[in-house]
A and B are shown apart, each in its own frame.
Chain A
Amino acid sequence: MKVIAILMIIAACSVVGFEISNGFARRTKNLRLWKDALRILEAEIVYSQTPIIQVFQKLSKQLPKPMKELFAQLAKEVADERGDLYEIWSEKLEDFSKISHLKTEDVEILKQFGRTLGKYDILQHEKQIQLTLTHLDRKAAEANEQNAKFGKMSRALGVLSGIFIALLLL
């Protein structure tokens, strides 16, 4: 009985540690996906000059899981004309930030980008996308560094603190 309880405490603390380190890994991954998305967006806007709804649909087909739903919903709501593009964009980003472990500063960069979307000509758009990409590059480098540094640490700390609490209660 005691052994089972001890194992459960250690397992619970380990899971918490692994979840925290997972959060760091997921932020890195999602930032990379956003960079891909912006490159595709740039190609579609600057070279193909596709309308924004079709761009969103294309993005939702090309990108993997968490981004897929985001762009599918964006395409749908813009098509339904539920309001300003920026309103829909920032609303969807808020929802997205809850499941993607992105920090508020990352979301803020993307929101700023959404504010410019559809407001200027192609040349300005290209510049805005390049600017956002630079910002995201910086954030991605920072996230990578944090992931390498704190990912391992939170995993080790989770397991160790589990054993520690179990020993205290022995």
Chain B
Amino acid sequence: MIGDTGILFQVAGIGIIVAMIHTVLKQMGKEEFAQFVSLIGFIIVLLFVLNSISDLFQQIKSVFFLKG
């Protein structure tokens, strides 16, 4: 039901690393690169969890409208 929790840790790790890269770049005055890296990190994580999200929506649909 819950599936593997590995993806959670992976996403958490990516989040931490992207946050660190963001901090380093911002400290060195490369704000635009920092924003860009954050955006890329977000998109990658989104691709990772895309399947899970679509599963979630299917579940919600099946619960409320009784179809799957």
Q: A-side interface residues toward B, CB under 8 Å?
A: 149-150, 153, 156-157, 160-161, 163-164, 167-168, 170
In this complex, the member of B6, B25, B28 whose beta carbon has the largest number of chain A beta carbons within 10 angstroms is B28
Count A/B pairs, Cβ under 8 Å.
Answer: 31
The answer to whether A149 touches B28 (Cβ under 8 A) is yes
- Chain A hits for B14, CB < 8 A: 164, 167-168
**Of B6, B20, B24, B44, which is within 8 A of A168 by CB?**
B44
Interface string of B5-22 (1 = CB under 8 A from A): 010001001100110110
In this complex, the member of A149, A150, A161, A163 whose beta carbon has the largest number of chain B beta carbons within 10 angstroms is A163
| Tier of interface size on chain B | 10 to 19
For chain B, what secondary structure do more than half of its interface residues adopt (helix, strand, loop), or is it mixed? helix
Identify 16 new A-B residue pairs, CB closer than 8 A, beyond the known A160-B17, A170-B10: A150-B28, A153-B25, A153-B27, A156-B20, A156-B24, A157-B21, A157-B24, A160-B24, A163-B13, A163-B17, A164-B14, A164-B18, A164-B21, A167-B10, A167-B17, A168-B44
The answer to whether A160 touches B21 (Cβ under 8 A) is yes
The answer to whether B17 touches A153 (Cβ under 8 A) is no
- Chain B hits for A163, CB < 8 A: 13, 17
- Chain B hits for A170, CB < 8 A: 6, 10, 13
